[in-house]
């Protein structure tokens, strides 16, 4: 059995790591390299970086900080933000990232997933899915451009359908972000994650809702995801990764020790 992954998420804006609450009210957290170093020392299994303005501005993530991170890091890291075509993906991977994350542009051009996977391998392409629940239809749907509240767009694309499609196209991993839970610290959306786990045959990463250690235990125990992604609880030192791993290990969750 593969070890479950603990993944800090760093939202980057104008070269700095920021914190958000429900995709608004940005607050500067700190320097990209300093935080990366901190999480490496604490025992993070991987890092995810999202440039939260690139997709909106139609620009690619900045080469400089990706290259600097690649020089100091000894764990895998994924970069997302403004990757709209194969050439963009190639550049980010050449800058030093191990994986690229595509989201809104994958919806525009689903075959971008296949193109990246065919050239660089399925392990290099992560598809991010921002999912919200529609009470009227009792179904989950995909949103895009959620990194900026002024540009969020709902789609009529059902989350289950999209998960199945991106797998067929070559996605090596899926990050499922619950918009309803994001920033609330009330726990991951276990109901949705269990539904998606039943149809997702590639590694599935939970995102949105972590507030305490029990939330990490619950998401691994009850939805059987491969990794859990969180930001505020790590940035604000509400949860210390070595202690989190110690508790999970004591509860028989397969986890890589620090």
Of residues 51, 88, 130, 189, which has the active-site annotation? 130
Rounded CA-CA distance 25/149 in Å is 10
Q: Is there a contact between 45 and 256 (Cβ–Cβ < 8 Å)? A: yes
Torsion over CA: 192, 195, 200, 202 (sign): positive
Q: Is there a contact between 141 and 158 (Cβ–Cβ < 8 Å)? A: yes
The DSSP secondary-structure symbol of 218 reads H
Backbone angles phi, psi at 175, to 5 degrees: -105, 115
Of residues 11, 45, 51, 88, which has the active-site annotation? 11
Query: With 0-12 CB in 10 A as exposed, 13-18 as middle and 19+ as buried, what is 72?
Result: exposed
Measured in whole angstroms, the distance separating CA 185 from the mean position of its chain's CA atoms is 16
Q: Is there a contact between 36 and 10 (Cβ–Cβ < 8 Å)? A: yes
Annotated active-site residue 45? The verdict is no
Annotated active-site residue 189? The verdict is no
Q: Is there a contact between 42 and 201 (Cβ–Cβ < 8 Å)? A: no
Residue of 140, 231, 153, 234 lying closest to 193 (CA atoms): 140
Rounded CA-CA distance 188/121 in Å is 30
Give the active site residues: 11, 130
């Amino acid at each position: 059995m593969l070890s479950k992954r603990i993944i800090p998420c760093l939202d980057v804006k104008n070269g700095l790591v920021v914190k958000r609450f429900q995709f608004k009210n940005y607050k500067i957290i700190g320097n990209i390299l300093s935080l990366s170093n901190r999480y490496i020392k604490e025992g993070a299994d991987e890092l995810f970086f999202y440039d939260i303005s690139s997709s909106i501005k139609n620009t690619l993530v900045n080469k400089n900080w990706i290259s600097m991170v690649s020089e100091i890091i000894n764990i895998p890291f994924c970069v997302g933000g403004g990757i709209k075509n194969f050439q963009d993906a190639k550049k980010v991977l050449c800058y030093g990232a191990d994986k690229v994350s595509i989201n809104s542009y994958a919806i525009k051009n689903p075959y971008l997933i296949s193109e990246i996977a065919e050239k660089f391998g399925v392990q290099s392409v992560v598809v991010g899915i921002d999912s919200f629940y529609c009470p009227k239809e009792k179904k989950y749907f995909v949103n895009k451009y959620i990194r900026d509240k002024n540009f969020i767009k709902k789609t009529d694309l059902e989350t289950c359908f999209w998960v199945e499609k991106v797998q067929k196209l070559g996605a090596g991993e899926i990050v499922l972000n619950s918009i309803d839970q994001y920033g609330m610290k009330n726990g991951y959306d276990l109901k949705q994650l269990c539904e998606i786990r039943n149809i997702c045959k590639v590694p599935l990463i939970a995102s949105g809702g972590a507030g305490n250690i029990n939330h990490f235990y619950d998401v691994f125990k009850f939805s059987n995801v491969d990794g859990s992604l969180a930001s505020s609880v790590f940035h604000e030192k509400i949860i210390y990764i070595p202690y989190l791993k110690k508790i999970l290990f004591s509860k028989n969750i397969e986890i890589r020790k620090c």
